[in-house]
Structure 1
Amino acid sequence: MIKLIAIDLDGTLLTKDRTISDENKSAIKKAKELGVKVVLCTGRPLLGMVHYLEELNLREIGDYGITYNGGLVQKTDTGEIVSQKTLTQVEVQELYRLSQAINVPCNFIDLEQIYEPPYPKNRDSLYPTVMNALPYVPVMMDELAEDAAINKVVFCYEQQELDEAIDKIPEAFFEKYTIMKSRPILLEMMHKEVDKGKGIAILCDLLGIKADEVMALGDEANDHAMIEFAGLGVAMENATAEIKESAQFITKNNDEHGVAHAINKFVLQKVDSMSK
């Protein structure tokens, strides 16, 4: 029986115009009324999904959110941190030097702001087109505090040029950090122990929920770990080939209420059949 539903946002719960369909809202509402934990799992900060949480009535006592791709597990009613893993100032400096070496812009984010260090000449970051929930603050790298706790570093640029740059990243970086694409134009780098699967595992341990009682829904590379962790991994029809290969079920696409389709099939209909 499914006791926790972990749902990615962009490309999964949200339509192309970044809204939540009435069908998805209804299915989530019914699942929550049955006592199922519904947890939004995203690369965004909590402030970047508050309006969605409010739409879905997921800011009550006992509701949780997984943000920064699993680096942060929080209570959504208060923002209280349950678990957090961050990058050190030394690690951020190293990743910034990498961005300069492969000629792509770099930003890094903590709980309160998005930092804008000097970009390569004529190669401004596209991150402001993706994330505007936190203020952007210019910073020189020698001004970054020694005790800085950075949740993630991002490289955000035109897809083709970003992909070419990614091919130039030495393998040692992939061994030292969690590195994944969350959008065609966005590469994210985090503490090695961070991914959505580990974030859900921490929450499940807290709530006494087993992996085989979890359904996870996603579409992109940053959802791979939670698709593999969950007893039931669900890929969107619009998901990458890798995600589809890892999933046990492929639902409808994000514009055809794929989240609602999966919840109805594996949660609501199962309950109906058991009650007969």
Structure 2
Amino acid sequence: MRRIQLVALDLDGTLLNEKREIPLSLVERIEDLQARGIHFVVATGRLYPAALPYARQLALKGPLIACNGAMIRDTKDDRTLHHLTLDRGQGREILKELQKEKEDILRFSFFGDQVVTDTPHLFTEKYEKALGLSFSYVNNLHDHMEECFLQDHHPTMIVLMTESSVTARITDKIFQRFGDQVFVTNSHDYFTEVLHPMATKGQALAQVASMLGLSQGAVMAIGDNRNDLSMIEWAGTGVYVGNAPAGLHERANYVTKEYQSWGVLEALDKFFPE
């Protein structure tokens, strides 16, 4: 069995349990593996500030992959190591396309460490509570984005939040409209996320491995959803936890029987025997 030296962990639906906590037994297991020289990196769709507390809890010192791979920050000093954003044309056209939707939706965009929306909605409270963030409200997201472009401040990601029954249709619509001009993914059944075409967890994980001087074969990635697929396929050992959509299982090297954080613990026990 190849020697794994770096483990990338998704947060929501993977490392975190249903209470959005990391069980103590998993914290201790990760601490033990770090003491044995194994590196860990959080790789999440969350903004950096919403992911940092979990990295701190695990005493991770080094890169953190945020915004589905569009951003890599150093947890030691918060320095930005890598940041991919949408350009003016992409941002404008994506918002224009989303404004055509008649469904009950929440549109918002990530600008640096800020979440901006022009559609106050019941979903905002759910999202704020889930990620420990507060929205900044503007009258018109398109106008706000244009003002940001004039200051050379580009959006990291544009997100649509709606009922899960609508998400697949909108995701497909954006993919058909923009093709490889952007990267479209889903971190949850109710999110459609649009990013720079190279902004994936897979490319970000490859950069982190390179920073650490590690080969692809020395890397394991563990996730639960479509936005994790790129890193699971890139890593030498790709793992989906048991709660991942069934259609993704065949894309991984291993699928755990356990769900969420208990699936992570199962994977660590399998690939790092005592």
TM-score (norm 2): 0.89
> CA shift at 1:81, angstroms?
1.2
Equivalent-residue separation in structure 1 for 2:125 and 2:199 (angstroms): 24
Note if contact 2:205-2:231 (Cα within 8 Å) is conserved in structure 1.
yes
Q: Does 1:189 align with 2:186?
A: no
By how many angstroms is 1:253 displaced? 2.8
Task: Note the C-alpha offset of 1:192.
Answer: 0.1
Which runs of structure 2 are paired with 1:173-188 in the superposition (5 Å)? 173-188=178-193
Instruction: Show CA shifts across 1:233-259 (max 9, x none).
Output: 011011112331111111233356111
Cα displacement (A) at 1:106: 1.5
Q: Quote how far apart the aligned CAs of 1:142 are.
A: 2.3
Take 1:102 and 1:186, find their aligned partners in 2: how far apart are those partners? Answer: 15
Cα distance in 2 for partners of 1:96, 1:47 equals 25
Deviation, 1:88, is 2.2
In structure 2, the partner of 1:100 is 99
Task: Say which SS state the counterpart of residue 126 (structure 1) adopts.
Answer: helix
Deviations 1:136-157 (A, max 9, x none): 2223222432222211010001
Query: What residue identity is the alignment partner of 1:108?
Result: S
- Residue 166 of structure 1 is matched in structure 2 by 171
Residues of 2 paired with 1:124 and 1:136: CA distance? 11
Match of 1:238 in 2: 243
Check the 8 A contact 2:241/2:259 in 1, yes or no: yes
State the shift of 1:172 in Å.
Answer: 3.3
Deviation at 1:93, TM superposition (A): 1.6
Rounded to whole Å, the distance in 2 between the matches of 1:240 and 1:91 is 30
Map 1:262-273 onto structure 2 (within 5 A).
262-267=267-272, 269=273, 272=274
SS of the residue 2:258 aligns to: coil
Q: How far apart in 1 are the matches of 2:168 and 2:255? A: 27
3-state DSSP class of the match of 1:130? helix
Map Cα deviations across residues 117-149 of structure 1 (whole Å, 9 max, x no partner).
Answer: 3x4xxx937244224544422232224322222
Match of residue 3 from structure 1: 5
Aligned position for 1:115? 116
CA contact (8 A) 2:45 2:187 kept: yes
What pairs up with 1:3-82 in 2 under 5 angstroms?
3-58=5-60, 60=61, 63-82=62-81
Comparing 236-245 and 183-192, the one that deviates more: 236-245
Cα 1:170–1:254 change in 2 (3 A) is closer
Aligned ranges 1:83-98 → 2 under 5 Å:
83-98=82-97
- The amino acid that maps onto 1:3 is Q
Give the structure 1 partner of residue 123 of structure 2: 126
Matches within 5 A, 1:194-205: 194-205=199-210
Of 132-141 and 195-204, deviating more is 132-141
Structure 1, 100-109 or 36-45: larger mean CA deviation: 100-109
For the aligned residue pairs, the C-alpha RMSD in angstroms reads 1.9
Secondary structure at the residue paired with 1:184?
coil
Gaps of 5+ in 1: none
Does the 8 Å CA contact 1:227/1:243 hold for their aligned counterparts?
Answer: no
Letter in 2 for 1:10: D
Change (3 A) 1:26 1:234: same
In the alignment, the residues of structure 1 paired with residue 225 and residue 165 of structure 2 have an alpha-carbon distance, to the nearest angstrom, of 17
In the alignment of these two chains, the number of paired residues is 262
- Farther-moved stretch of structure 1 (251-260 vs 11-20): 251-260
1:142 — aligned with what?
143
Q: Which moved more, 1:171-180 or 1:1-10?
A: 171-180
How far apart, CA to CA, are the structure 2 residues paired with 1:52 and 1:176?
33
Determine the C-alpha separation between the residues in 2 that align with 1:256 and 1:218. 10
Query: After superposition, what is the alpha-carbon deviation per residue over 1:203-227, rounded to whole angstroms, capped at 9, x for unaligned?
Result: 1111111111001001100000000
- Structure 2 unaligned spans of 5+: none
Contact conserved, 2:242 with 2:260, CA < 8 A, in 1?
Answer: no
- The code of the aligned residue for 1:258 comes to G
Distance 1:88 1:168 in 2: 20
Q: Contact between 1:212 and 1:232, CA under 8 Å: does it hold in 2? A: yes
1:6 CA drift (Å): 0.3
Query: Partner of 2:256 in structure 1?
Result: 251
